[in-house]
A and B are shown apart, each in its own frame.
Chain A
Amino acid sequence: MAQGPVPFSGEVTCLPLSSLPVNQKAEVTHLEMQDPQRLKKLIAIGVLPGSPITLLQRFPSYVFQIGWSQFSVDRGLASAIYVKL
């Protein structure tokens, strides 16, 4: 993915969910830990490493599916989720 790939743990390339192409199946690798409030929210809705995730829409807000649930988040939260394909 051309948009801002972030190397993580050597061989796998990770990118923020906000840069994932729409309808591409991916898996959560890690979360941005800087902002504790943000982290708490992601934890609460069950976004944690290992969860399969699909981005469905990016404008006007980000929409993703995790399990059988869909969530809408803003850019801040979407870019705090890192995924691999």
Chain B
Amino acid sequence: MEPAAGSILDHNHHLSLREFPYIIRWRDDRCKRCGRCTAVCPVKAIAPSVKVQRIVRSEGPLPAPTAVRATTHVVEQVTDIERYCTGCGACSLVCPNEAIEPELNPQNKFLHYKNKGGDAYKRGGRRNDPSVSTLDRLKFTRISMLTDPALDAGRHEFRIRSLLGRILPPEEMPLTLDNGVLGIDKKSGKFVPPVREIFPIMIGSMSIGALSPPMWEGLAMGISYLNEVEGLPVVMASGEGGMPPRLLRSKYLKYFIIQIASGYFGWDEIIRALPDMVEDPAAIEIKYGQGAKPGDGGLLMAQKVLKLIAKIRGVPQFVDLASPPTHQTKYSIEEAVAKMIQSMSMAWGFRVPVYPKISGSKTAKAVLNNLARNPFAAGLCIDGEDGGTGAAYNVSMDKMGHPIASNLRECYLDLVKQGKQNELPLIAAGGVGKKGNLAANAAALIMLGASAVAVGKYIMQAAADCFGDEYNRCNLCNTGKCPRGITTQDPKLYRRLDSDKVAERVVEVFKAADVELRKIFAPMGRSTELPIGMSDGLSIDDKAMAERLGISYAC
């Protein structure tokens, strides 16, 4: 096409700032040109520039404006789609004069253009849907009022604990009776599966590699402190990518769930550490799917595979680490799941609960029923569509997957039909705490039938001030350029993050969640046992949702 103005190039194929998701609001009058904003911007969306401008100046004791044309320094937003402003706001954070901030542009056409070179848009974070989720619409409406006394969250004894592991049906307990006293029949040879008592909110799988060393270390320290000092048995899953060799050989291993996924990254080191382990891990999670990107395997971009990560994972540096979508060595659900569970159980002498994690899906019930028949399956983790990830295609994150609420509920009710609701714990994940309501979301899922919930994105936000949100703010986790130092392997970036502060925040978050759970359960008259499946306590303001979830409608 000929340029409109003859041989002079116009800007026809340039994008205007209106197409961009965030527009930088820069204030010339406040800016002192220190350059901090341009230096800190993780994507170089802003750049210092020089312009010739008409400037009105007035010098001297009395107003005497004069207009001059002068060369000035400015901060400009670039219009290269590869350097789009992510809205993270790191520039505002470092600006001494409040001279700059990104502003959300709801009219943007970002997704129209973010496929340069045929490269589909990849990012981190979670589904970009800021609307109120089902979890946040659930309300606790069965309040103990006069007909029975409400409990006192401060005075009564509360046991906010759950069980992780396969639980024997009562009829199969190998009990003996001697003079009216029960014992265990050890001669029966009956397998009693390992079961852990845990806090019902756990930190879900986020790998070393996806997370920076101080972030992972901060989480691990926080978890250990909660267990050792606060007496809150919070557990954390490793994600795919192994664990630090020293931690594998430490007494703190018991607070960690080790994940094995389709890439088996990190498992050389784990197997090597097995003979030296002084404690068993809390559990083994076999990852078959992830709510954020159903059908996709894990993905660690080359830029994040630095020396430490390469060593732990047993791979060369700076190569893309894409786990396959499925476990390649297996081929059917019967074989895949049973064999994996058996192998993992065997590695630890059947002393460790082994459970699969899948993406929320219409097929979840089929997996569940397979597990229900497998006496070694220790549970099922279902990760709903609002789960987060360090790297995935935007289309997978935004459009693939199943919301957790109804998926979890139908699985629980299916177990109820079979009478196995107490035998196979369900762990719900994906969008828990999306709007900050961690305890309320967790309690709602528990009342719908979850034995525990897992959080990932929430803890990054709450413990390490992750900028990411559902307006596609930041979401740079995949690039290794996390401005907070959470999801990067670049020492220049991750030195911004103080692992002690992360640990402190983890402790604060869980202690507060413990209090909030009591504040929810106490008025509902529950304190002794977790109200798993107490669906009469819940209501929602939508009839169709109420019907689907088998709860009451309240408005």
- A associates with B: no
Chain B interface residues (CB < 8 Å from chain A): none
Residues of A bordering B, CB below 8 Å: none
